[in-house]
Chain A
């Protein structure tokens, strides 16, 4: 398997522009997570999905952030409008629930976002 795939790997945009980050989870995984990583705040969970349904979006910082998972193999995280403080590395991760036990989360390589 190719692992979790994220695109783009790098994104530079200007304040006010819409940004869309994409994620393809590992095939067969039923959980998908979006994280944001910054030096100040570390790794923060933004939202996660189970079987394409959003379960907890309490980590989404503002209404400017939205995430969708239209099918089991694709998810997007959208920021509209973007602001300089959104600059961070955004990670997507996926996992497979099994026998009621937590399973490993497999992280993608991340998207490094810079908002000017």
Chain B
């Protein structure tokens, strides 16, 4: 019930292309869905987050799409750049004040010139 399934495990995209990473969850109590970005040797850092009252959130080249009925959410990176090469984690948590983030297994993105 607490699982968040993330795909693909790895992704190679040409510079300028669109990177798409998908996550699915089972726990309908989840109400906060952040994406974290992690560079080698660093800790994860929050990239963008969404709550289920909206279906999409955009920040610069990064967009989260959220489908509550399907219990799925995805990260789109437009105009992907080599500097975007990192591992991306989706996560979910439930309940105001509950900080137990359940993370997906991660997607290693490589953007090639």
Contact = CB atoms under 8 A, between A and B. Distances in A.
A interface: dominant SS: strand
Given A4-B43, A42-B106, A100 B96 contact: yes
Interface string A91-116: 10101010011101111111000000
A99 B112 CA distance: 42
A43 interface: yes
A107 B103 contact: no
A107 B93 contact: no
Interface residues of B, number: 23
Contacts of A105: 46, 99, 101
Given A100-B97, A101-B96, A102-B32, A42 B103 contact: yes
B99 A95 contact: yes
Interface string B74-113: 0000000000000001000100111111111110000000
A88 interface: no
Contact of A31 (B89, B99, B102): B99
A104 B97 CA distance: 12
Interface of A: 4, 31, 33, 42-45, 48, 56, 91, 93, 95, 97, 100-102, 104-110
